[in-house]
Amino acid sequence: MRWVGGDGDPACGVWVLGRDPGEVEERVGKPFQGPAGDLLNKVLAAAGWHRSQVYVDNVVGVRPPNNKWEAHAEADIERGIAAYRERLELHRPRLVIALGNEALRTACGVDPRDGKALPGIQDARGYLWDSPLGGRVIGASHPAGILREWVPWRALLELDLKKAAKEFRAGCPPLPNRAVTVLTEPHEVAAFRGAIKDAPLLSLDIENTAERTLSCLGVAASTDHAFVIPATHDWQLALIREGCESKVPKVFQNGMYDRYFLRARCGIEVRNHTFDTILAWHCLQPELAGKALDKR
Ligand code: URA
């Protein structure tokens, strides 16, 4: 079994991290050489990078039996994590593009075997993280996974790499500090009202319980501060109603569901739902929307 090392100059500032080598990579002795490598090179190019401008490596340098992550020897995973951290310490890349779950966990300083440490890559992709190990991290779908699936995730991989390139060119500026206030005391209502009073737009989202009762409403009037109003006490329900029925234009993600739920279950009528992110997404990327129906 051959340990496949990194490809490129680790001092270049941008790292691309995969999981482990496949058959072709093992034969050639470099990461991302087969079909997944071809796709990676293409999306890198679409983002304005030639492969030689980035450093490409894997969490674990050996190919696992049957290409199954779970089949790795523990010692190989330990060796991979230690080697990654050592290299990181030495070269301090400004940005790590982590492809897939195991790479994202490793880059974010958690154990790549811990499936609960972070959301799965389909939820976590496209977000920027400050790694406790230092440097900025962006998660993206793994090219090999994309090639296996019928959903055209490639469009999202391309978008994520373009975002990565933009972030890198901008020098990876500090991430905004984001705050969430959970309104559990009536005296906090004034802060909420103050925040939404002159807001040009409110972003709303509900959560419901498994029993289909309202659990809470999330409300953001800016990009850096969100409120959560649990639907427990009467004063909280009144506040949820106040937020939903206010005249301020509102953005939802799949608000058709939220509005139906609020109307049917709580008698709350949402006013001025002017934009919906899921509808916008489906319009802008119809190739990704509603693909589940294609199977019928
Ligand atoms: N997948 C990976 O994660 N790494 C490779 O090198 C090839 C495929």
Residue 293, pLDDT score: 57
Probe ligand 1: pick from 33, 58, 147, max atoms within 8 Å of CB?
Answer: 58
What atom in ligand 1 is closest to the CA of residue 31? 6
* Residue 26, ligand 1, Cβ within 6 A: no
* Residue 246, ligand 1, Cβ within 6 A: no
Residue 188, pLDDT score: 96
Q: How far is the CA of 32 from the centre of ligand 1 (A)?
A: 5
Count of CB atoms situated within 10 Å of the CB of 215: 15
* Residue 125, ligand 1, Cβ within 6 A: no
Residue 197, pLDDT score: 87
Residue 294, pLDDT score: 57
Cα distances from 122 to residues 6, 101, 151, 295, in angstroms, run 25, 9, 12, 20
* Residue 39, ligand 1, Cβ within 6 A: no
Probe ligand 1: pick from 32, 63, 68, 121, max atoms within 8 Å of CB?
Answer: 32
* Residue 6, ligand 1, Cβ within 6 A: no
Distance CA 49, CA 17 (A): 15
Digit-coded pLDDT (tens) for 63-85? 999 999 999 999 999 999 999 99
* Residue 20, ligand 1, Cβ within 6 A: yes
* Residue 63, ligand 1, Cβ within 6 A: no
Residue 290, pLDDT score: 63
Q: For residue 7, which of 54, 70, 46, 45 has the smallest C-alpha distance?
A: 54
The structure's pTM equals 0.85
Distance CA 227, CA 204 (A): 10
* Residue 250, ligand 1, Cβ within 6 A: no
In sequence order, what are the residues at sequence separation of 6 or more whose Cβ sits closer than 8 angstroms to the Cβ of residue 20? 58, 59, 60, 61, 62, 63, 64, 67, 69, 72, 80
* Residue 112, ligand 1, Cβ within 6 A: no
pLDDT tens for each residue of the chain, 296 residues long = 789 999 999 999 999 999 999 999 999 999 999 999 999 999 999 999 999 999 999 999 999 999 999 999 999 999 999 999 999 999 999 999 999 999 999 999 999 999 999 999 999 999 999 999 999 999 999 999 999 987 778 989 999 999 999 999 999 999 999 999 999 999 999 999 999 989 999 999 999 999 999 999 999 999 999 999 999 999 999 999 999 999 999 999 999 999 999 999 999 999 999 999 999 988 887 777 665 555 55
